[in-house]
C-alpha cells in the first residue's frame, strides 16, 4: 500500500474521529482535507481549490435553496398543519386511527410545501401528540407516526436532499423531482397501510373521534373548511412542482414564484406581519448559510481524497465483493443505513455518495434509480436511534408522560417500512424511473 493510500485512509478516519468528538461537519471536512492533503502533496494540491469553490458559489441552481427554504418557513407560519389536522380528523369519521391517518396526510402536504423535517416534526408534535394521548392513542404508535410523517419532506419534492444530490450526481433537478414523486407517495402509502392494520387488529390503541364531536360540524361546513384550508397550499405546490416537472420553468425560477406565492398564502390567511417576515428571513439565512458552508468545505475534502487516490481504494474494495454490481449497490445501501445511525444526511451525501459514484457510472447503472434508492435510504437516517434528528425534535416538544422509550419503540416499525421501500424501489426500478420517462426528462 502506497503512502498516498495510507493518507487517504487516515483522511477518512480523521474525518469520522472529528465528527464523533462533536466538531461541526463543515469544519471537520475542511480540517481533515487540509491536513492530510498537505501531508501528501504540500500546498500544490490546493492550487485548484479557488477555482472549485468559485464553480460552486457561481452555480445558478443554488439560488433555489434559499428560495425553497423561504417558501417552506413562510408556509409554516400560516399554521397549515393545525387547520388541516382538525379538518382531516373530522373527515375520518368513525375510523380507528383516523387522526393518525391525518398526520400522514399532513406530513405529505407539509413535505411538499415546507420540506423542513425539524419544522414538520415539531409542528406535528406540538399540535397532535397531546390530542392523540387525550383521545387514548397508544403513545408509541403516536410518536412513530409523527416522526415518520415528519420526515416525508426529505423525499417529496421540493427537497434539499434532491437539490444537493442533483449536483453530486450531475443530474437535472427536475428529473429528480419527477422521480421522487412516486417513491414519496409509496412511503406515505406504506405508513397508511401500517396504521390501518393497527386500527383493524388493535382498535383499542387508536380510538376514533367521538361521535358527538363529529356531529358538531355539518358536512357543508366541513367541506367548506377543506376547500379553505387545503386549496391554497395545494395550488401553490402544484404550480411550483408542476412547472418544474413539465419543463415550463427552471427550479430557480419556480422557487422564486413559490416564495412569492407563500407570502400571498400567508397574507390571505391574515397572518403576515413584519415580525413574521423577519423571523422567516433569519431562519432562511441560517439554513442556507449552513448548507452552502458545508458545500464549500466539502470541496477541500473531495480534492484531497481524489488527490490521494482514494477512489482507487474504493475500486479495490468493490472488487472484493461477490455478486457483481447488484451487491455493490446493496453494499452502498448498507453503508448509508449504518452511517445514518450516527451522522446526518448532508454529511453522508457529501462523503459516502461521491466515493462510489465513479464505480456505478462505469458500470452503466441508471443514476436516477440510484439517486432514489439513496434518497429513500437517507430519509431513514432521521428515524434511526440513537442520533435520528426526528427523535430529538419530538423529544424536545413531547409532554412529560412521553418517555424516550416510547419514541424509540414507536419508530421501529416505520424504519422497517423504510427498508421495505428500499427493497421495492430496488426490485421495481419503474417506481423511480417511470414518471421522468413518461414526461420526457
* Torsion angle (degrees, nearest 10) of CA 97, 99, 103, 105: 80
What pLDDT, on a 0 to 100 scale, did the predictor assign at position 189? Answer: 94
How much is the pTM? 0.75
C-alpha pair distances (Å), 267 with each of 68, 78, 239, 270, 283: 18, 9, 18, 5, 19
What pLDDT, on a 0 to 100 scale, did the predictor assign at position 298? Answer: 77
Cell, residue 261? 406565492
- CB contact at 8 A, 109 and 149: no
Render 319-374 in DSSP notation, one character per residue. HT-TTHHHHHHHHHHHHHHHHTTTS-HHHHHHHHHHHHHHHHHHTT--HHHHHHHH
What pLDDT, on a 0 to 100 scale, did the predictor assign at position 97? Answer: 77
List of the chain residues with pLDDT < 50:
none
Cell, residue 299? 470541496
- CB contact at 8 A, 395 and 125: no
Q: For residues 98 and 34, what is the distance between their CA atoms, to the nearest angstrom?
A: 54
pLDDT digits (tens, 9 = 90+) for 251-298: 778 778 888 888 888 888 787 888 888 888 888 888 778 777 877 887
Cell, residue 347? 454529511
What pLDDT, on a 0 to 100 scale, did the predictor assign at position 61? Answer: 66
Amino acid at each position: 500500500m502506497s503512502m498516498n493510500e495510507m493518507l487517504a485512509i487516515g483522511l477518512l478516519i480523521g474525518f469520522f474521529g472529528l465528527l464523533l468528538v462533536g466538531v461541526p461537519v463543515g469544519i471537520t471536512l475542511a480540517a481533515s482535507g487540509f491536513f492530510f492533503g498537505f501531508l501528501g502533496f504540500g500546498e500544490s494540491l490546493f492550487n485548484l481549490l479557488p477555482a472549485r469553490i468559485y464553480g460552486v458559489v457561481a452555480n445558478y441552481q443554488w439560488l433555489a435553496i434559499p428560495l425553497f427554504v423561504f417558501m417552506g418557513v413562510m408556509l409554516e407560519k400560516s399554521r397549515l398543519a393545525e387547520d388541516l389536522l382538525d379538518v382531516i380528523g373530522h373527515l375520518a369519521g368513525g375510523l380507528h386511527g383516523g387522526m393518525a391517518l391525518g398526520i400522514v396526510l399532513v406530513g405529505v402536504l407539509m413535505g411538499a410545501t415546507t420540506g423542513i423535517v425539524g419544522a414538520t416534526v415539531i409542528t406535528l408534535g406540538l399540535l397532535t401528540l397531546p390530542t392523540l394521548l387525550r383521545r387514548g392513542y397508544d403513545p408509541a404508535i403516536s410518536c412513530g407516526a409523527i416522526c415518520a410523517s415528519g420526515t416525508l419532506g426529505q423525499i417529496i419534492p421540493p427537497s434539499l436532499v434532491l437539490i444537493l444530490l442533483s449536483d453530486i450526481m450531475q443530474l437535472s433537478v427536475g428529473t429528480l423531482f419527477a422521480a421522487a414523486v412516486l417513491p414519496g407517495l409509496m412511503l406515505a402509502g406504506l405508513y397508511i397501510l401500517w396504521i390501518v392494520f393497527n386500527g383493524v387488529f388493535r382498535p383499542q390503541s387508536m380510538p376514533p373521534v367521538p361521535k358527538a364531536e363529529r356531529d358538531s360540524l355539518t358536512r357543508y361546513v366541513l367541506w367548506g373548511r377543506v376547500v379553505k384550508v387545503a386549496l391554497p397550499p395545494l395550488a401553490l405546490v402544484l404550480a411550483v412542482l408542476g412547472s418544474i416537472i413539465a419543463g415550463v420553468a427552471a427550479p430557480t425560477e419556480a422557487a422564486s414564484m413559490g416564495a412569492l406565492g407563500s407570502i400571498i398564502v400567508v397574507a390571505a390567511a391574515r397572518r403576515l406581519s413584519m415580525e413574521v417576515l423577519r423571523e422567516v428571513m433569519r431562519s432562511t439565512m441560517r439554513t442556507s448559510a449552513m448548507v452552502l458552508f458545508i458545500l464549500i468545505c466539502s470541496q477541500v475534502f473531495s480534492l484531497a481524497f481524489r488527490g490521494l487516490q482514494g477512489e482507487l481504494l474504493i475500486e479495490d474494495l468493490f472488487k472484493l465483493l461477490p455478486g457483481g454490481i447488484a451487491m455493490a449497490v446493496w453494499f452502498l445501501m448498507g453503508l448509508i443505513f449504518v452511517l445514518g445511525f450516527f451522522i446526518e444526511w448532508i454529511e453522508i451525501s457529501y462523503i459516502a455518495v461521491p466515493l462510489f459514484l465513479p464505480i456505478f457510472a462505469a458500470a452503466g447503472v441508471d443514476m436516477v434509480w440510484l439517486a432514489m434508492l439513496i434518497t429513500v435510504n437517507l430519509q431513514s437516517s432521521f428515524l434511526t436511534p440513537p442520533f435520528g434528528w426526528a427523535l430529538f425534535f419530538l423529544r424536545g416538544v413531547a409532554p412529560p408522560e412521553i418517555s424516550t422509550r416510547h419514541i424509540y419503540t414507536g419508530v421501529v416499525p416505520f424504519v422497517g417500512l423504510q427498508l421495505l421501500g428500499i427493497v421495492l424501489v430496488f426490485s421495481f426500478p419503474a417506481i423511480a424511473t417511470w414518471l421522468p420517462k413518461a414526461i420526457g426528462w
